[in-house]
């Protein structure tokens, strides 16, 4: 089996579908009502939009909602609250990866014991590389699943994970909103 057959394209497909859905929704009149309904929720709407921002399929919709909210609400406040929602989404992914997915792999790894052990128990240099790559991905507008998975592999402690992802999501959302406000300017 060659490498192209081993690659799982589900994440890419979900991301493309999410962007296509967001592009389609922008063309429909009902989107303005949907965006306005999130604005009417105030900071709860910003939190929910941040939660949507964390997942591949809903990331584009989350971006639309967050950018739209920053038009009517203070940019800094939207960034702070939306980052909290994103951290909740990231934590759900992290918990699934660490507490469910990896435990299942550990249970079923007899055939490839050494390879799995090497991935699940990386040395400290690989661990720091996984953390750095994961944090860069989380700070970027790329959906967070890959970055969160890398942090799950690194065995980072949950309190550090929450703190780091909040800071990075805040920075990423704040920069996104800053750029969007300059463009709309």
Which pLDDT score is estimated for 46? 93
d(CA 86, CA 124): 28
Average pLDDT, the chain: 77
pLDDT on residue 18: 67
From 29-33, 60-64, 101-105, the region with the lowest mean pLDDT: 101-105
Q: Does pLDDT of 127 surpass 70?
A: yes
The predicted pLDDT at position 3 comes to: 45
Q: How many CB atoms lie within 10 A of CB 92?
A: 14
Indicate the range of 15-24, 113-122, 175-184 predicted with least confidence.
Answer: 113-122
> pTM of the entire structure?
0.71
Percentage of the chain beyond pLDDT 70 is 69
CA distance 165 to 82: 12
Tens of pLDDT, residue by residue over 35-90, are 677 778 889 999 999 998 888 777 878 888 898 888 889 999 999 999 999 999 98
Find the helix or strand (DSSP H, E) in which 158 lies. helix 158-184
Triad 29, 31, 33: Cα angle to 5°: 90
pLDDT exceeds cutoff 80 at 175 = yes
């Amino acid at each position: 089996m060659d490498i192209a057959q081993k690659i799982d394209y589900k994440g890419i497909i979900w991301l493309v579908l999410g962007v296509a859905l967001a592009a389609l929704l922008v063309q429909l009149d009902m989107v303005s009502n949907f965006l306005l309904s999130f604005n009417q929720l105030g900071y709860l709407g910003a939190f929910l939009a941040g939660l949507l921002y964390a997942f591949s399929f809903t990331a584009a919709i989350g971006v639309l909602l967050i950018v739209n909210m920053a038009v009517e609400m203070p940019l800094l406040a939207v960034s702070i609250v939306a980052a909290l929602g994103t951290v909740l989404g990231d934590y759900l992914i992290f918990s699934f990866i660490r507490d469910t997915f990896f435990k299942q792999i550990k249970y079923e790894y007899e055939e490839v014991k050494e390879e799995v052990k090497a991935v699940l128990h990386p040395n400290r240099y690989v661990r720091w590389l996984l953390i750095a790559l994961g944090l860069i991905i989380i700070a970027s507008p790329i959906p967070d699943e890959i970055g969160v998975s890398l942090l799950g592999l690194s065995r980072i402690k949950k309190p550090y994970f929450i703190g780091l992802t909040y800071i990075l999501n805040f920075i990423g959302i704040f920069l996104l909103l800053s750029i969007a406000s300059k463009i709309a300017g």
